[in-house]
Amino acid sequence: MFGILHARRMYEDQKVVERKEKGIEPEFSPDFKASFLRLLPLRSMSRLWGSLMEVELPVFMRPAIYKAWARAFHSNLQEAAMPLEEYPSLQAFFIRSLKEGSRPIDADPNCLVSPVDGKVLRLGELRGPGTMIEQVKGFSYSAASLLGASSSLHGAEEEDFSREHTEQSNPADSNAKSWWRVSVAKPKLWDQTLLSPKKGIFYCVIYLHPGDYHRVHSPVDWNIIKRRHFSGHLFPQNERAVRTIRNLYVENERVVLEGQWKEGFVAIAAIGATNVGSIKLYIEPELRTNRAGSKILNSQPEPPDDRVYEPVGTGVMVKKGEEIAGFKMGSTVVMVFEAPVVSKARWREDGSGTQQKELVRSDEALGPVHEEEEEDRRRRKEVGDLGGMRLDRRRSRRRKLDHCLFDLLYRWQEGRLPVDINCVISNHDRLKDNHVRRFLERHGIPYHYLPTSPGNKREQEILELVQGTDFVVLARYMQILSEGFLKAYGKDIINIHHGLLPSFKGGNPSRQAFNAGVKLIGATSHFVTPELDAGPIIEQMVERVSHRDTLQSFVVKSENLEKQCLAEAIKSYCELRVLPYELKKTVVF
């Protein structure tokens, strides 16, 4: 069975690749197969499939079956939280949780993160009430039909549309004040449209491949105020279905979570598909989807089942990266949200914003929501933009969280670090006109983009690049280096951990500390060893927190500490003031 599925997937993927290479964009083209699907009892078939998936498997057969599934659909078994033998059924394996730290959450409060692993099919901005979302070239559907007639989206659209036309009719007034300079106290005598950034309604459609991780995470800190469950069809969600079935996402069964975040409206629609046994909500475990009793008459589903979460107006508070739902097979997620309009493009063009057809992972930044003013850009340029570093032929590697790298390069530029920058190695690309790339080019520092995947960490290529260096610095690289790499390199590697070790190892140390109710948070710089976050500590810095602090303030304070901590550790190391002894200890003179 797995062989047939694998062959079919490879055939379909190859056809998609061939069309892409020829520059052919998929167009809406209904065919007889789409009509035939409407005659099949897909809901009953999906319930049966769900029951079969829940059959408990013999322990000795589990690893072989799960590995066969992983080979067929390119699943990453290394991220599984438990040994394969401990998943009793294919269903349990399919909705498996991940090892702690597998999905580092982008801490930028102005970034939305991807709620799922998958491919971005469509993204853009909804302009004005009744705007359509393109399903495929040649056919679109309205956001209102997807989220429901009672959705709060309509009010948000009309408010943004009205604000935009008000600003256009009074251009002199709209430019009178820079919104970010005005006090948030909201003086009653001032027009509030002048005190807020121009906002828009954006959308992002993400398709989950059967091999992807199938839990849905919260994209932001928000309040889920209501849930809306639409009983509907369970048509497939693959590429062929998208271009042949009219109103695919609107006609399929779906669960919509709707609420408010700091910038306004936000909604997530989890859309069912063929063989999706059910959609599970972790904040409402009693909800049952694909019920046998629900009927679809004349292609129109029953009215949606609405629930308003208590307390009314506040609902359920969830944090960025928190698990909120899960699919019991592959499907699609549509996210609609209100946010300030970004300059020039709806998504940033410097490489940190998501692009259509891009593969994304849960908790990875989709893009920022705040426009960067000219003075902010000038000020950041003055303090050094950022790149990598080499310390008498040393390297620094970086990820999207640039604050550590920015700080190191600024100190290097000012002559406060006794280092020579050799190159920057990054697994996230940046466009040539990005400020990091411009800084590196200006100073003659090579930039190497080496995209990594769970199956290919590009370690051999990294080793070739770091030959002849004295040591390597990991400036929030967020990848685990293998023991083989450490042995092959054979020299010191310094890492920065945004938590106070050994208390909060792995991913999300700020959240761990916040949940633990600590009164001190910190950052730790240490030597890298095969054991995660367990190497000899070089430097630690702490700051006091209290019950008044939020998770966001924990993150901000931790970022400030880790910049200082990493820089001080490197300075001490370069000045030959660090002496490791025993297994996990150091003397710093």
Please state, in angstroms and rounded to a whole number, the distance separating the CA atoms of residues 566 and 577.
15
Determine the 3-state secondary structure of 17 from DSSP: helix
Residues in the chain: 589
- Cβ neighbours of 65 (radius 10 Å): 17
Catalytic residue among 152, 174, 214, 217: 217
- Cβ neighbours of 178 (radius 10 Å): 12
Catalytic residue among 75, 278, 331, 510: 331
**Phi-psi category of residue 275: left, alpha or beta, with phi > 0 → left and psi -120 to 50 → alpha:** left
Beta-ladder partners of 150: none
Q: How many CA atoms lie within 13 A of 43 on its CB side?
A: 17
Catalytic residue among 117, 385, 402, 533: 117
The question of whether 217 is a catalytic residue gets the answer yes
Q: For tokens 């036309």, name the residue.
A: 165
Backbone angles phi, psi at 452, to 5 degrees: -110, 160
- Answer yes or no: are the C-beta atoms of 118 and 209 closer than 8 Å: yes
The stretches of 264-372 forming alpha helices (DSSP H) are none
Determine the 3-state secondary structure of 583 from DSSP: coil
The question of whether 558 is a catalytic residue gets the answer no
The stretches of 316-394 forming alpha helices (DSSP H) are 374-382
Backbone angles phi, psi at 173, to 5 degrees: -70, -40
- The answer, yes or no, to whether the previous bond of 311 is cis (omega within 30 of 0) is yes
DSSP letter assigned to residue 78: G
Determine the 3-state secondary structure of 97 from DSSP: coil
The question of whether 142 is a catalytic residue gets the answer no
Please state, in angstroms and rounded to a whole number, the distance separating the CA atoms of residues 522 and 500.
5
**Phi-psi category of residue 337: left, alpha or beta, with phi > 0 → left and psi -120 to 50 → alpha:** beta
Residues forming the active site:
117, 217, 331
